[in-house]
A and B are shown apart, each in its own frame.
Chain A
Amino acid sequence: MYSHDVLIIGSGLAGLRAALELVGHLDVGVMTKVYPSRSHSGAAQGGVAASLGNVDGDSLEAHIYDTVKGADYIGDQDSIEILCADAPRTIVEMEHFGCAFSRTDENKIAQRAFGGHSFKRACYSADRTGHALLHTLFEQSMKRGGELQVYSEWYMLRLIINDGVCKGVVAMNTKTGKLEVFHARAVLFGTGGYGRAFAITSNAYANTGDGIVAAYRAGVPLQDMEFVQFHPTGLYQHGILLSEAARGEGGYLLNGEEERFMKRYAPSKMELGPRDIVSRSEQTEINEGRGAGPNKDYVYLDLRHLGKEKIMERLPQIYHLAKDFIGVDAIKDPVPIQPTAHYSMGGIPTDNDCQVISNETGDHVTGFFAAGECSCVSVHGANRLGTNSLLEALVFGRRAGKKLFEVTPEIGWSKVNEKEELSAVRLEIDRILHTKATENLGEIRTELQNTMTNQVGVYRTGEDMEAANEKIKELQDRFTRVKVENKGKNFNTNLIEALELSHMLEYSELIVAGGLAREESRGAHFRNDFPKRDDDKWMKHTLAFRKEDGGYELKYRPVRVTRYQPEERKY
């Protein structure tokens, strides 16, 4: 049995930032299913938001308002105020940690335009801002290497919560297959999003919602799972992210008739409308037969007018992705794109100090924290603005660290039944390995992903989601007979893929459940059968609780409004 005062699961921006706050004060362990530098924070491209006003007259007030409006008024406004107010300090801190930012002519951190933001607010490092930030924190973690224990390639499989007290986790050492209990006074999840349940997604293969499902199975409700962001510029068929910075730098969106179609949907912001609106606009163009290509199933991101120099200095990664993955030279030709499942607005509900909430009245789970994409504070509401996610991970990662520093010493070492916890996980694994197996793992996964993209995607209907619900139930049943041919111990990716699939099957049901119940359209959740936002009925957060029999129950909690009353969202 391993033990740490604080155990952090996930080594992306939230997890590492929290660890740096605690190292040297408490005994901290960080666990990751990959290696820290391979966390998905690194895939963020375009920028990180802060109202520094380095290039225009931006203000904190404007950042707050844009975020509240972008969230379609279901973000909690006190949380959003915290997020935006702490942004400038966060950027300066990352600069001091060594992050290399692109610069202005006045040698300040450069800032660019982004969708839904009314000023040039995105601080950036070319078009690999997440990568620059993640590697900076990884460097800082190596600086503290002697004091910070990092468990790379360990796969967390069970969160231990007894009687409302969190006591640690059970995890598997991927290299050896050995299961171990990690005993802790407090646990922080920074385990990322759940976009892998979709066929077209910008998410890493690792983003299978392991953290949120472990929390859910341990009795923690999940909040606002129905809100999944579809990013407007996913590379056609691959779903790979092409940063919004491409449009921030002046890129156009064109339909098959080479027309800038955004004039019909967001005449004042055009291509820089918020992501939900731009993705829907693209999908409408495709659905109404104005797409491009032989099947008219994509639209274009056009950078040609920006010129080679600007593309290669500001958007080099986008250039290389288009070139390497689909052989398109973005300097000479427009790039085929389509909406791609990108960001999970929903997740583990927390208060403003990242303490996890156990019910609709806001009681805490003692010693359990969550930050970053796996959490739902909620600062993004129904639709996140680009560049606010890196910011959230850094701001709330640090806040989690500060709160953990404060409360962990007060939390005693509660007893954990090692044998029982280990055997619970071993039982699950044995069931997978030794079941009477007939079902192909890859097929179940593909069918799930196609169902989610086609029936729970940019446009949804009650009918489609009912069908998706049936399909997921069928797949869950088939999963009980899934074939895992590799019975070995060391680096058994076959087994890990099966465990990941079980997580995807579990939370996908909740995305559909939340979406079916929410009979309105808000942010990224758009229903053709209920196309209007309904503030009277639905200005509230969904909470999905797991029942004893494995089913779920939905409850709701109010949204915190401080200064901006809901109004119609126009761009």
Chain B
Amino acid sequence: MDSVTFRIFRFDPETEDSPRYQDYEYELEPGVTLLNSLNTIRSKQDATIAYRMSCGSAICGSCAMRANGHAVLACKTQTSELVKDGVIQIDPLGNMKVIHDLVVDLEPFWGSLRKVKPYLQPDTTNNPELEREQTQEQFLLIDDVTTCILCGACFSDCNALEVDENFLGPATLAKAHRFIYDSRDSKTEERLEDISELHGVWDCTHCAECSTRCPTETKPLARIEEIREAAMKAGVHGNNGARHVLGFRETVGKSGRLNENYLPPRSVGFFNIPGLLGLLPVGIRMLMRGKNPPLIHHSIDKVDEVKKIFSRFEEYRK
């Protein structure tokens, strides 16, 4: 048996001014999970450590917390895999306020979820007395995303949320996906329109942290990409995100490289005067610090090769 130091974040905002770490020496037994270990420490050493738990079998999502800086579901994570130089550091989830020790205020998480009409909006002409048809293939389109247990691990470790608290976040986007891709939902287009707006699906920065931390098969980044694909296919192009994608393709397809002077105004819209004015301060600051892209945009040498790739792709798509 190896001895491991559990370095646990402790904070009671009611009685303490600032958080601290408390160390616990723990004899690691083989095959135990992080939740087992915490329960042993709580039972034998310090009953006052606060954390959430319920099912203990990776389906309720209560025991999400951070181990060594990354969100995990404590009940399904082997303790032995977390030991680094004899230490395991345990913190509460990120992007949310601490209530007590490892317990955070989940209200921002639930609040986000409620923004995307998280329920089926079926065709009202369906006969309520009969089951509706759905093929197994259609079911499989939402099979992965419906494994989401709303544990908040992705919300905790999302880098976009860290800088924009109004961003819907990975789990909420996955919930939106679940209905966009459900053959029984009748509001696909409205959903795609809504989710393409500011703080929605285009505000994800593709860091992939959500999918890396997701303890289920939901893998939010993959779902986010699928929503974007569906939005582009459905012609939901009247928003910054879609215009950015289209502009990106236009400039690379034309010159083989990104025209960084073209893309920002293309994304906000060439006739969007307030939007364009909003870009000016950043542009001027870049100019003053010499970070601006060249004013005259040149194509790469073998631009014809790039154009060939684009036309082959267009043919393939047809």
- Measured CB to CB, the residues of A under 8 A from B are 34-35, 37-40, 42-43, 52, 89, 91-93, 95-98, 100-105, 107-110, 125-126, 128, 131-132, 135, 139-140, 142-143, 145, 175, 202, 204-206, 237-238, 240-241, 316-317, 320-321, 324-327, 440-443, 445-446, 483-486, 488-494, 497
Contacts and interface: CB of A to CB of B under 8 A. Distances in A.
23 contacts: A34-B60, A34-B62, A40-B55, A43-B57, A52-B131, A92-B130, A95-B131, A98-B122, A103-B135, A108-B133, A131-B149, A142-B114, A143-B118, A143-B119, A204-B54, A205-B54, A320-B58, A441-B43, A442-B42, A443-B43, A492-B50, A492-B100, A494-B50
Nearest to A202: B57
Contacts of B51: 493
Size bin of chain B's contact surface: 35 or more
Nearest to B148: A135
Contact of B99 (A42, A131, A490): A490
Q: Which of A35, A52, A237 has the most CB of B within 10 A?
A: A35
Contacts of A494: 47-48, 50
Nearest to B150: A37
Given A327-B31, A441-B43, A491-B100, A206 B54 contact: yes
Given A92-B131, A100-B139, A101-B139, A442 B59 contact: no
B43 A446 contact: yes
Given A102-B139, A324-B76, A442-B44, 12 more contacts: A35-B62, A37-B150, A95-B131, A97-B120, A98-B184, A125-B146, A205-B53, A205-B56, A326-B31, A442-B43, A486-B48, A494-B50
Contact of B132 (A96, A142, A443): A96
B155 to A, nearest CB: 14
Q: Which of B15, B56, B57, B114 has the most CB of A within 10 A?
A: B57
Contact of A441 (B47, B49, B147): B47
A18 to B, nearest CB: 18
Interface in B25-72: 31, 33, 42-44, 46-62
- The 3 nearest A-B residue pairs measured at CB: A442-B43, A98-B120, A491-B100
Contacts of B47: 441-442, 483-486, 494, 497
A140 B120 CA distance: 8
Interface of B: 12-15, 31, 33, 42-44, 46-62, 76-78, 99-101, 103, 105-106, 110, 113-114, 117-120, 122, 126, 128-136, 138-139, 142-143, 146-147, 149-150, 179, 182, 184, 217
A460 B60 CA distance: 32
Contacts, number: 176
A96 B132 CA distance: 8
Given A42-B60, A92-B129, A100 B135 contact: no
A446 B36 CA distance: 13
A142 B119 CA distance: 8
A489 B14 contact: yes
Given A102-B139, A488-B15, A204 B55 contact: yes
Given A442-B44, A494-B48, A488 B118 contact: no
A512 to B, nearest CB: 24
B55 A98 contact: no
A91 B131 contact: yes
Contacts of B134: 101, 103, 107
B294 to A, nearest CB: 51
Contacts of A125: 146
Contacts of B52: 34
A96 B103 CA distance: 36
Given A38-B60, A494-B48, A100 B132 contact: no
Given A92-B131, A204-B60, A43 B136 contact: no
A43 B59 contact: yes
Contact of B54 (A38, A96, A483): A38
Contacts of B117: 143
A488 B47 CA distance: 12
B76 A325 contact: yes
A263 to B, nearest CB: 30
A104 B133 CA distance: 10
A301 B54 CA distance: 26
A489 B99 CA distance: 11
A100 B134 CA distance: 9
A326 B44 CA distance: 24
A43 B55 contact: yes
